[in-house]
Chains A and B, each alone.
Chain A
Amino acid sequence: TQLLEQSPQFLSIQEGENLTVYCNSSSVFSSLQWYRQEPGEGPVLLVTVVTGGEVKKLKRLTFQFGDARKDSSLHITAAQPGDTGLYLCAGAQAVTGNQFYFGTGTSLTVIP
């Protein structure tokens, strides 16, 4: 059982559509990060959120940290083919002294 479960696991959408990816846990996190990984490359950090209820925007990407700091979401508006990739959430678990765990990943394909 993974500490951070992401849904959906796979997502294929048309260019211009909106989408939301979810990252859920039963554990509380001190901070939560989102990464994007392209084929053949390592993950690249997109954002870090540390406060319950925090919302951060990065151009067409909106990240939200749940009020209880147990979950997070990534919303992409008007998806583009360049958004294609594997999206990973990751968090520092509060109860274990901020041990860091990655989520199961969401593979996004945006079709032109």
Chain B
Amino acid sequence: NAGVTQTPKFRVLKTGQSMTLLCAQDMNHEYMYWYRQDPGMGLRLIHYSVGEGTTAKGEVPDGYNVSRLKKQNFLLGLESAAPSQTSVYFCASGLGQMGLKNTEAFFGQGTRLTVV
């Protein structure tokens, strides 16, 4: 049972470098999400997708781009990394909109990103 898999698990970037975080789910879920988690702030939504080929902005989208070319994959890109993007990034997927009754979201194990 792979569930939601994130790669890489750890990464250190220099300011201005770019990278892509990959999220893969094998549960045939329509909805996928990217969150960042910072101390004392809980999880904040960066971008989300309600199906293959669709993406939408969340609460904190600036500095990030996403793509959902295949239903099972949701990519998060940082074009020019900044120290403020140092965080733990979580991907999640679910059958329906997060928070609705009988709709459970499943999270990956996270990617710890440090920008120096």
Contacts and interface: CB of A to CB of B under 8 A. Distances in A.
A44 B100 contact: no
Q: Which of A91, A101, A102, A104 has the most CB of B within 10 A?
A: A102
Interface in B81-116: 90, 92, 97-102, 104-110
Interface residues on A, range: 20 to 34
B12 interface: no
Given A41-B109, A42-B90, A42-B109, A92 B42 contact: no
A30 B108 contact: no
Interface residues on B, range: 20 to 34
Contacts, number: 65
A40 B105 contact: no
Contacts of A98: 97, 99-100
B27 interface: no
B107 A42 contact: yes
A101 B59 CA distance: 9
Q: Which 7 A-B pairs have the closest CB atoms?
A: A42-B107, A92-B99, A102-B42, A102-B43, A100-B99, A100-B98, A104-B42
